Every structure is written in C-alpha cells, then in structure tokens.
Structure 1
C-alpha cells in the first residue's frame, strides 16, 4: 500500500538524485580544463606507443627513460614548430597592427571592381549593390588585428597547459602496466576480462588511427608546401601548416583550407595587377590544392579512416556525416575514435547480437 510517507521518500530520493547529478555535472564543468588535459595526454600516449615500444623492446630502455625520451621528442617537435612559425606570425601581426583599415577597404572595393571588369559583368553593378547594402560599412577590418592579438595572447598562456599535459603524459607512458594492474583490482570480477580486452583493443586501434592521421597530415602538409613554393607564395610554411591542420576536420576541412589558401594568396599580392598576377596565381594555387586533396581522398584517407580502425569507408562517411549534423565540427573530428570505441565495447559485451556481429565483423 502506497502511503504518504512512501511518496515523500520517493520524492526526496528523486530530488537527491537530481542534486547529485547536477553537482557532478557542475564539478565536471569546473574542471573541464583538467579533462581536456587528460584527453590530450591520452591521445599523445596513443601516438607515442610505437616509439615507446621501440625504445623498450629494441633499445632496452626502462619505463622511466622511455617515457622521458618520448616527452623530450614531443618537446623538440613543438620547439621546432615554434622557431618556424612564431616569428612569421608575429611579423604578420605587426603588419596588421600597422595596417590602415580605410586603405584596406579601398583595396577591397578596388579588387571587387577588378573582378567585375575582368569578367565583363555589365548588367550587375556590384559596387552599387555593396553601397546599397552597406556591406563595406559593416566590415570591420580591424577585427583581423584583434583576432591575431587574441591568438598571440592565447599562445602566451599555453605554457602552464603544456607543462601539465607533458607531466600527465609522462606518467601515462611510464606507469601503463601499473594502471592496468590497479584496474584489475577495481573492476568487478564478472566483467573484468571483457573490460580489459576492450581497453586493449581500443588502445591498439586508436594508436593506429592517430599515428596514421599524423602521417596523413604530414604528407598533406608537404604537398601543400610544394604547391605554394612552386607558385612563389609568401609565408608558404605557415599557410601549408594551417591548411594541413584543417584536414583534421573530415570532408569540410580541406574545402576550408583551399578557400583560405586562395584568400591568403590574394591578400599577399595586394597592389599587383589583378588580371595578370593575382587571379592566375590564385587559380593555380587552388588547382594545386584540389590535386593534393584528390590524392589525399583516394590514397591517404581510405587507409587512415578504414584500414586503421577496420571499418568500411561508407560506414566511416555515414557516421561522420551523422556526427557532423548532430554535434557540428567537433562531432566530425571525434566521430571515428568514438565510433571505434563503441564498436569494440559492443563486440565484447554483446557478441551474439546479430546487428553487433555485422557491424563488428572486421574487428
């Protein structure tokens, strides 16, 4: 029989549950920076696994020495990027900070008129349309200066974050076996083997995925750099690096990178003749980037996205598309790793399910 006391106890338990969940979510929100550090450290650990195994098995390094050597390797890579890119970025920031925004607006109108004249647009007065719509008055070209300055401020504040990430990564690498043995003691005996098998498979597949992704970005960066150097683009290293990083975003990233390369090419040639210099070189750069993307889409991506995580290319495309529609760009970036983790877990815990067996037959 349901009494008022039973109802009140149920309401109290429900309220307590809601409060606990709210408190946990608030706590996670407050420590989101730490969670990000842990995620980055985990990814670095997965990327470093092949190097760590080489140091341990081939060179007979101990855990601490292998971890320290790996961290030093990451630091040297980051230092190399800093010496390559920061001086160029600072010089561009100084140029932008001294830029006459009114003059830049005039150059924008001049470029628009050059395009109109070159393509012989006689029935559409783009200049009048721009003035009527007041687009140019709404364009705040000083935004670029503030944007660059904010990036520099962000980079300046990254020191503590990098130290934290490397500190966590060092112990992730050094004490992997210790963490596994502690996990065996904590996990329930009934599901211990399934959970540990899932972790081992996930670690193996994601290591292959992230190492492959890093290799893919390196190849794309080199090809982009070759294209930009061939056509004499200023700051080819920076542009190639930024466009290669955008390839982390499946399908959309390369398109954004190509548009960005075209825009930066045009900006770097402001003051030159539009018809004979700016337009031809921009078209050549865009064509070069499209060729690189064709090579990447038909060679690199199928290997990375399907073979490294043992999934069909169509399967990868659909899950990336669904994740992008649901969660935006972040969803597209994490779609493949998260989907791989789910497949491994489902196969370990529900191997007899027909749908699961079909989806995970290649794992």
Structure 2
C-alpha cells in the first residue's frame, strides 16, 4: 500500500465524517419541519379513506373532499379535547370549595408550634427569617417571563397547527405526493419486486 492510496483513504474518510456531521446538523436545524411533515403524513394516511369516500360516493371534487375530510379530522380532535373540559371544570370547582381561611389558620397554628419548639431550643425563628431578607430575594421578573412564555407557547402552537394543516391539505389533495416521497428512499431493486 503506497502513501498516496493511504492519504486518499484518510481524506475520503474525513470528508465522509464532515459530510455526515453537516447532514446531522442540518437535520437538527430543521427538526420542527420534519415533525410537521411526519404529523401531516399520519393525518393524510388517516384521512385518505375519507377523501376517497367523498370523491367516489358523493362525487365531490378533490379540493372539497379534502376540506371536508380535514374538517372532520380537526373536529374529531377538538371533540376529543372537549371531552376533558368538564373534568377540568369539576376539578376547578373542587378547588374552589377549599376553605382557604381554615387552611391559613392551620398553617398559622403549625408556624406557631414550630416557633415555640425552636424557642425552647433557643432558636428564634422570626429574627432568623428577618436576617435572611426573604422578600428582597424574590425574583419579581419571573411573572412577566412566565406570561411571555405562555404567549410564545401559544404562538408556537398556532404556527405548528396551521403548518400541519397546510401540509396535510396538499398530502391529501395529491395522494401520490406522499407515496412518491416515500418511494425516493426505497431502492429500485425493491420497487421492481412489488
């Protein structure tokens, strides 16, 4: 084995590793788009029989069949979510029945008992807590940060929802689009045996 062959092999291995690293970095950067496409593919596979039903049985055109199928899928999803709303409302009602004054009184009794016990051990709780300046250590910027995270989460969810609907519409409208995109990955020898 000469040095030129060895150097070419090393360079080819380095280029292959760099290419794989760049490809993985690219996949990492577009991971949300990949998730949208996978969810849209699942929706289009589950909605395809509905589209065929509307096309064949009711003789509707492609776009109207896809829109009706997507409305049924989204309506079913929201109906499933709405099943849990009474449960959440009931739990909220149960929490509203909680006697806050009694709970606060019980907590005050526990505090007094702990303070008495510690005083019997020559540990003074109130002076110790005042030394720590607890109120000055509270981070009040957490409240706007929490609200901002909720709003950004809602924005991200709405972008994802409409992206999935958009991609699903075209997967359902052109059924061969999804099939052809999967067939790109399958080698030609496997396709001919089908």
Measured against the shorter chain, the TM-score band is: 0.5 to 0.7
- The TM-score with structure 2 as length reference comes to 0.59
Q: Report the Cα distance in structure 2 between the residues aligned to 1:155 and 1:92, rounded to whole angstroms.
A: 24
CA contact (8 A) 2:47 2:73 kept: no
1:8 Cα deviation from its structure 2 partner: 1.0
1:38 Cα deviation from its structure 2 partner: 1.2
Match of 1:166 in 2: 165
Q: Report the Cα distance in structure 2 between the residues aligned to 1:17 and 1:168, rounded to whole angstroms.
A: 33
Deviations 1:296-337 (A, max 9, x none): xxxxxxxxxxxxxxxxxxxxxxxxxxxxxxxxxxxxxxxxxx
Q: Report the Cα distance in structure 1 between the residues aligned to 2:35 and 2:185, rounded to whole angstroms.
A: 24
Tell me the number of residue pairs that the alignment of Structure 1 and Structure 2 aligns.
148
Q: Report the Cα distance in structure 2 between the residues aligned to 1:158 and 1:185, rounded to whole angstroms.
A: 31
Counterparts in 2 of 1:192 and 1:5: CA distance versus 1, 3 Å: same
1:81 Cα deviation from its structure 2 partner: 4.1
Give secondary structure in 2 for the equivalent of 1:11. Answer: helix
Q: Is 1:73–2:80 an aligned residue pair?
A: no
Match of 1:137 in 2: none
Deviations 1:225-247 (A, max 9, x none): xxxxxxxxxxxxxxxxxxxxxxx
Q: Report the Cα distance in structure 2 between the residues aligned to 1:22 and 1:186, rounded to whole angstroms.
A: 20
Bigger CA radius of gyration: 2
Counterparts in 2 of 1:79 and 1:187: CA distance versus 1, 3 Å: closer
Counterparts in 2 of 1:33 and 1:180: CA distance versus 1, 3 Å: closer
Structure 1 regions of 5+ residues with no counterpart? Answer: 107-148, 198-363
Q: Is 1:36–2:24 an aligned residue pair?
A: no
Counterparts in 2 of 1:42 and 1:6: CA distance versus 1, 3 Å: same
- What is the RMSD of the two structures over their aligned residues, measured on CA atoms? 4.0
Match of 1:193 in 2: 192
Matches of residues 117-128 of structure 1 in structure 2 within 5 Å? none
1:23 Cα deviation from its structure 2 partner: 1.0
Match of 2:58 in 1: 59
CA contact (8 A) 2:41 2:178 kept: no
Counterparts in 2 of 1:27 and 1:184: CA distance versus 1, 3 Å: closer
- The TM-score with structure 1 as length reference comes to 0.34
Match of 1:21 in 2: 20
Deviations 1:46-69 (A, max 9, x none): 211221221121112222221111
Counterparts in 2 of 1:164 and 1:92: CA distance versus 1, 3 Å: farther
Q: Report the Cα distance in structure 1 between the residues aligned to 2:13 and 2:92, rounded to whole angstroms.
A: 55
Counterparts in 2 of 1:40 and 1:187: CA distance versus 1, 3 Å: closer
Q: Report the Cα distance in structure 2 between the residues aligned to 1:18 and 1:50, rounded to whole angstroms.
A: 44
Q: Report the Cα distance in structure 2 between the residues aligned to 1:31 and 1:182, rounded to whole angstroms.
A: 17
Counterparts in 2 of 1:7 and 1:45: CA distance versus 1, 3 Å: same
1:85 Cα deviation from its structure 2 partner: 3.8
Counterparts in 2 of 1:29 and 1:87: CA distance versus 1, 3 Å: farther
